[in-house]
A and B are shown apart, each in its own frame.
Chain A
Amino acid sequence: MQVRKFFCLLAFFAFTVLTAHAQTAISATTIPTDRLVQPEELVKLLQSTSAQPLILQVGSRVMFGEAHIRGSQYAGPASTPAGLKALESSLTASPKDHLIVLYCGCCPWGRCPNVGPAFKHLQELGYKNVKVLYLPNNFGDDWVSKGYPTEHK
């Protein structure tokens, strides 16, 4: 009986650890490189006459309020279940093959808790044309300071 109890506890502990690890393991670095878009490329696209992408900021609402890519919408934070629901809600009118560009820029790329989960979630929902804006340092340094199209508060 004691042995059974011990193995039950061990199994529960292992499950908890593995689940926690899975939740924290969706790093921005898991996004395939062919799904990344460089800031200069997005600027060119925004300035072109091609069909415009749906651009979604999936990070901090406060930071979105300070400044965001011109024409983008807020749909986060994707590191939380509520944020992923908000992301889903923002896409109800979007065809599954429409170009969607996600971005965050809260933190250095490898530390962002938002773009990885957002990208994964959209893939799971069947969105086939999702790209992520590569911001290696943060939104301020990699977009705003470069003079790219921005809306401020």
Chain B
Amino acid sequence: MSLRTRLIVCSVVAVLAVIPLGATEPPDPLLHKPAAAFVRNDLQKRRIDLAKYKGQVILLNFWATWCAPCQIEMPRFAQWQKTYAPRGLQILAVSMDDEPAPVLEYVKKHPLPFPVMMGDEDLGAKYGDVLGLPDTFLINRDGIIVAHFKGETRLESIEAELRKLLDIR
């Protein structure tokens, strides 16, 4: 085998060895599927039924008061709710704190312009087991999960997806 041929073969083998490395991440089983229904009371005892928000774009955020990246996100979410509500955005926050007391204390200090509910194992399981925070889902106007942001995420990325769903150029 000539040197040229050997080099070509080695290059092809090297490329084929590298390509699968980019494909090890399993597909998200929740994406492009209907968002799981739920009905919960929020901290102000208002009944929150996800189905009632069909026709709006939902940002469903799982968070907790002890989660540092969540603390960074909350003020931006509050700002987005105010800015994008006229275009049909509804943010729903689900706290994965073990008890409501610290959440009530948090919202007293940092009033939020969207419902905050207490989560639990059942609700977490409906959304693929929420096993790391923050965990954010974008649900389109037809009730389909179209984006899923797990862990600390660049807020600009979430906002860019949100603006697409809200049809804002």
CB-CB under 8 A for A66 and B131, given A60-B98, A137-B151, A153-B125: yes
B119 within 8 A of A: yes
Q: Do A138 and B133 touch across chains, with their CB atoms under 8 A apart?
A: yes
Interface residues on A, range: 20 to 34
Interface residues on B, range: 20 to 34
B162 within 8 A of A: no
Q: Select which of A61, A79, A137, A152 is within 8 A of B129 by beta carbon.
A: A152
Across the interface, which residues of A come within 8 angstroms of B119, CB to CB? 62
Query: How near does chain A come to B121, taking the closest CB pair, in angstroms?
Result: 4
State the CA gap A139–B122 with chains docked (Å).
18
Q: Do A107 and B130 touch across chains, with their CB atoms under 8 A apart?
A: no
Q: Do A105 and B121 touch across chains, with their CB atoms under 8 A apart?
A: no
Q: Select which of B67, B120, B125 is within 8 A of A107 by beta carbon.
A: B67
Across the interface, which residues of B come within 8 angstroms of A139, CB to CB? 131-132
State the CA gap A46–B150 with chains docked (Å).
28
State the CA gap A29–B47 with chains docked (Å).
41
CB-CB under 8 A for A67 and B120, given A62-B96, A138-B150: no
Query: How near does chain A come to B134, taking the closest CB pair, in angstroms?
Result: 8
Across the interface, which residues of A come within 8 angstroms of B122, CB to CB? 153
Q: Do A107 and B121 touch across chains, with their CB atoms under 8 A apart?
A: no
Across the interface, which residues of A come within 8 angstroms of B55, CB to CB? none
Across the interface, which residues of A come within 8 angstroms of B150, CB to CB? 137-138, 140-141
Q: Select which of A62, A79, A107 is within 8 A of B132 by beta carbon.
A: A107
A145 within 8 A of B: yes
B111 within 8 A of A: no
Query: How near does chain B come to A59, taking the closest CB pair, in angstroms?
Result: 9
CB-CB under 8 A for A63 and B130, given A77-B98, A153-B125: yes
Tally of A-B Cβ pairs under 8 angstroms: 82
- Using a CB-CB cutoff of 8 Å, which residues 64-118 of chain B contact chain A? 64, 66-69, 96-98
Q: Select which of B120, B125, B129 is within 8 A of A144 by beta carbon.
A: B129
Q: Do A111 and B132 touch across chains, with their CB atoms under 8 A apart?
A: no
Across the interface, which residues of B come within 8 angstroms of A153, CB to CB? 121-122, 125
Q: Do B121 and A65 touch across chains, with their CB atoms under 8 A apart?
A: yes
State the CA gap A67–B124 with chains docked (Å).
10
B152 within 8 A of A: yes
Q: Do B98 and A105 touch across chains, with their CB atoms under 8 A apart?
A: no
State the CA gap A141–B130 with chains docked (Å).
10
A81 within 8 A of B: no
CB-CB under 8 A for A140 and B129, given A62-B121, A108-B69: yes
A132 within 8 A of B: no
Q: List 9 A-B contacts (CB under 8 A).
A: A67-B131, A77-B66, A106-B64, A106-B66, A106-B133, A107-B67, A113-B66, A140-B132, A140-B150
Apart from A66-B130, A138-B131, A153-B121: 19 A-B pairs, beta carbons within 8 A:
A60-B98, A61-B98, A62-B97, A66-B124, A66-B129, A67-B129, A79-B66, A105-B131, A105-B132, A106-B66, A106-B67, A107-B133, A111-B68, A138-B132, A138-B150, A140-B132, A141-B131, A144-B131, A145-B26
